[in-house]
């Protein structure tokens, strides 16, 4: 198959040789109009990091406020706005686009041996939608902020003032950004795999991204229409969610969670994608149970659609529906557990090197397990009635969304950093950062499980004095967490200050295709046509692979 390019995307002729993608072509304009998936991924990454800092600072403010039972720093109204903005920024601007749009855009085509994603211009468009949505979300501050919580529950959200309409429209725009990323990934996986790469020769990252994209496409449009209905309700009083007009506020929750529960898997599947790459690389061992991991990704994506109403057990839903959704929710635990077992089995008797990405990956395993298992408490109807809307829920979903997703994002950034920028960071300091993140995270959220099970309600500004000890512990934890994150960020940025060295193509000894091109890659990713010599997790010595015939796994 001929792989020589004779035309760029715009049809003009171009020399076959390309430079480093970071510098060819140069200039801000070439970045802002780029259709190169790597550059778009990098732009996404910096945007996500920026919003992670914004959301993180808001979180620090919240924790600081909760240091004392009464007012510490900000008023109650301000508190409501801050936690809403923290939630909206972290969910819509950091976690959902984080791994798929930043790392996925950068790594997916490289892992597949493709030159780009299937629709490069759509990809750039999706980035600008993201920027637009982000600006809209921040503009709500000028309108007095939003105090509904990131879930926008009716009827409060249809009656309260402030910038709810703008925030909802921002989420709508961001939803379409996410949909276009999903469309791109599915088409890319189907049509742009390297010659000879069958579905089961794909790295597991691609399987998980594919599963993520399925959810993005099947669930996000429903969020879009839900948010539009909410806007219509606010603007025109259409009546669908307003009980005074004959509507049904619980219906809003059905609509919202039909997207937002699968969205939890938009958050966790990409995290699993990164972990499935990092663990074999740093264990120097073939992944255990390739097909089990691959199919469990798809199973999670599909089962994720059947469980949404477990967020609504106490919302006035019928008991019949509650029983069905509770029953189905337990099934999600199965594919998740399969994955965890397989990762642990991969590490078993591997030669593990504890570099920064691996430390993050191991933290992921621990925190995802805690997050997953506490989910079972919430899935059972009876215990959920007690735990619903308490700090137990807060701690549970932070273990999954922050403890798992953000930690995996950091693992991925540290893992692909040398490939992205051709520079190695100080691994010792980065490892200290990773350890601090782990410690700080647990110090922040373990006390919240205890508080929640004792009845501390979420989103409360004041609390009973007996909770103060645990709140103080949690707040101190948030400082440790923040210091770990800022240390990690500083280490990464410091590496960019160093002059560029001639970095090895494959600093970690990975076996997937991205390690077979230069660090950083050239504009078209691979200079030579790709000949697939071994599977993605084939850690036999190179001589042995070359001696054997055909593709083996």
Minimum Å gap between C-beta 21 and other proteins is 13
Contacts of 553 (CB under 8 A, 6+ apart): 200, 201, 286, 290, 534, 535, 536, 537, 538
Contact 279, 343 (CB under 8 A): yes
Shortest distance in whole angstroms from residue 389 CB to other proteins: 17
Q: For other proteins, which is the closer residue by CB, 142 or 236?
A: 236
How would you write 318-347 as a 3-class SS string?
A: CHHHHHHHHHHHHHHHHHHHHHHHHHHHHH
Instruction: State in angstroms the smallest separation of the CB of 357 from other proteins.
Output: 28
For 404-413, b/e burial (b = at least 16 CB within 10 A) is: bbbbbbbbbb
How buried is residue 17: exposed, middle or buried, by Cβ count under 10 Å (0-12/13-18/19+)? exposed
Give the 3-state secondary structure of residue 457.
strand
Q: With respect to other proteins, which residue has the nearer C-beta, 16 or 497?
A: 16
A 10 A CB-CB count for 487 gives: 18
Closest CB to other proteins among 12 and 502? 12
- Our CB check for other proteins shows the closer of 47 and 220 to be 220
Cα-Cα-Cα-Cα dihedral sign, residues 414, 37, 285, 516: negative
Instruction: Find out whether 389 and 314 touch, Cβ atoms under 8 Å.
Output: yes
> What's the rounded Cα separation, in Å, for the pair 280 and 534?
15
Measured from the CB atom, the residue of 104 and 510 that comes closer to other proteins is 104
* Cα atoms found within 13 Å of the Cα of residue 494, Cβ hemisphere only: 11
CB of 232 to other proteins, least distance (A): 6
User: With respect to other proteins, which residue has the nearer C-beta, 6 or 351?
Assistant: 6
Nearer to other proteins, 31 or 119 (CB): 119
The minimum distance between CB 308 and other proteins, in angstroms, equals 8
Contact 307, 328 (CB under 8 A): yes
Taking each helix axis from N to C terminus, what angle separates 407-421 and 468-497, rounded to the nearest 10 degrees? 10
Q: What are residue 292's phi and psi, to 5 degrees? A: -60, -40
> Which CB sits closer to other proteins, 191 or 353?
191
- Least separation in angstroms between residue 529's CB and other proteins is 10
Using the minimum distance from each CB to other proteins, give the nearer residue, 115 or 533: 115
Q: Given the complex with other proteins, which of 122 and 345 has the nearer CB atom?
A: 122
Which of residues 228 and 385 has its CB atom nearest to other proteins in the complex?
A: 228
CB of 372 to other proteins, least distance (A): 23
Instruction: State CA 80 to chain mean position distance.
Output: 25
d(C-alpha 287, C-alpha 530), whole Å: 23
Nearest partner of 153 among 321, 315, 379, 381, judged by Cα: 315
Spatial neighbors of 332 by CB under 8 A, at least 6 apart, are 300, 303, 304, 307, 375
Provide, rounded to whole angstroms, the least separation between the CB of residue 105 and other proteins.
14
Q: Which is nearer to other proteins, 57 or 235 (CB)?
A: 235
E strand or H helix at 544:
helix 542-547
Beta carbons of 474 and 441 less than 8 angstroms apart:
no
Least separation in angstroms between residue 130's CB and other proteins is 17
> Do 292 and 334 contact (CB within 8 A), yes or no?
no
Complex with other proteins: residue 238 or 424, whichever CB lies closer: 238
The minimum distance between CB 297 and other proteins, in angstroms, equals: 16
CA angle 435, 484, 486 (to 5 degrees): 150
Q: How far is the CB of 144 from other proteins (least distance, A)?
A: 17
Q: How many CB atoms lie within 10 A of CB 539?
A: 19
Residue 75 CB, shortest distance to other proteins, in Å, is 26
Nearer to other proteins, 237 or 509 (CB): 237
Distance of closest approach, residue 402 Cβ to other proteins, in angstroms: 28
d(CA 518, CA 528): 11
In degrees and rounded to multiples of 5, residue 376 shows phi and psi of: -65, -35
- The three-state DSSP-derived secondary structure of 85-150 is HHHHHHHHHHHHHHHHHHHHHHHHHHHHCCCCCCCHHHHHHHHHHHHHHHHHHHHCCCCCCCCCCC
**Shortest distance, CB of residue 20 to other proteins, whole angstroms?**
18
């Amino acid at each position: 198959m001929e792989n020589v390019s004779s035309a760029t995307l715009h049809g003009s002729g171009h020399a076959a040789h390309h430079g480093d993608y970071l510098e060819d072509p140069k200039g801000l304009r070439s970045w802002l109009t780029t259709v190169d998936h790597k550059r778009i991924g990098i732009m996404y990454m910096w945007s996500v990091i920026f919003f992670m800092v914004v959301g993180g600072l808001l979180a620090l403010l919240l924790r600081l406020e909760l240091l004392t039972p009464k007012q510490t720093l900000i008023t109650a109204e301000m508190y409501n706005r801050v936690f809403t903005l923290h939630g909206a920024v972290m969910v819509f601007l950091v976690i959902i686009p984080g791994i798929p749009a930043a790392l996925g855009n950068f790594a997916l085509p490289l892992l597949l041996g493709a030159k780009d994603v299937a629709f490069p211009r759509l990809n750039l468009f999706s980035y600008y939608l993201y920027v637009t949505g982000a600006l809209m979300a921040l503009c709500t501050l000028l309108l007095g902020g939003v105090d509904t919580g990131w879930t926008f529950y009716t009827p409060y959200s249809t009656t309260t003032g402030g910038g709810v309409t703008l925030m909802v429209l921002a989420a709508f725009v961001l939803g379409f950004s996410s949909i276009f990323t999903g469309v791109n990934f599915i088409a890319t996986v189907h049509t742009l795999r390297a010659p000879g790469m069958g579905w089961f020769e794909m790295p597991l990252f691609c399987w998980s991204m594919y599963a993520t994209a399925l959810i993005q496409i099947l669930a996000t449009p429903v969020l879009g229409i839900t948010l539009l209905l909410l806007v219509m309700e606010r603007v025109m009083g259409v009546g669908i969610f307003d009980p005074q007009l004959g509507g049904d506020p619980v219906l809003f929750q059905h609509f919202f969670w039909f997207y937002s529960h699968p969205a939890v898997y938009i958050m966790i599947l990409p995290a699993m994608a990164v972990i499935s790459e990092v663990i074999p690389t740093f264990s120097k061992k073939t992944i255990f149970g390739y097909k089990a991991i691959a199919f469990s990704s798809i199973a999670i994506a599909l089962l994720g659609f059947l469980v949404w109403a477990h967020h609504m057990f106490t919302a006035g839903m019928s008991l019949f529906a509650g029983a069905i959704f509770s029953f189905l929710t337990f099934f999600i635990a199965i594919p998740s557990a399969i994955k965890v077992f397989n990762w642990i089995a991969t590490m078993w008797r591997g030669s593990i090197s504890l570099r920064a990405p691996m430390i993050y990956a191991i933290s992921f395993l621990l925190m995802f397990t805690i997050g997953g298992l506490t989910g079972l408490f919430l899935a059972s109807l009876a215990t959920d009635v007690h735990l619903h809307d308490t700090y137990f829920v807060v701690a549970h979903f932070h273990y999954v969304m922050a403890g798992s997703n953000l930690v995996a994002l950091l693992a991925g950034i540290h893992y692909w950093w040398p490939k992205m920028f051709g520079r190695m960071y100080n691994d010792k300091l980065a490892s200290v950062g990773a350890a601090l993140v782990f410690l700080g995270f647990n110090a922040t959220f373990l006390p919240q499980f205890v508080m929640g099970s004792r009845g501390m309600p979420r989103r409360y500004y004041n609390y009973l004095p007996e909770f103060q000890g645990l709140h103080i512990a949690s707040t101190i934890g948030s400082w440790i967490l923040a210091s770990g994150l800022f240390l990690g960020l500083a280490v990464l940025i410091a590496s960019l200050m160093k002059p560029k060295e001639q970095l090895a193509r494959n600093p970690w000894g990975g076996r997937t295709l991205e390690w077979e091109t230069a660090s950083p890659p050239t504009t078209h990713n691979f200079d030579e046509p790709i000949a697939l010599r071994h599977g993605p997790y084939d850690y036999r010595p190179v001589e042995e692979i070359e001696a054997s015939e055909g593709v083996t796994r």
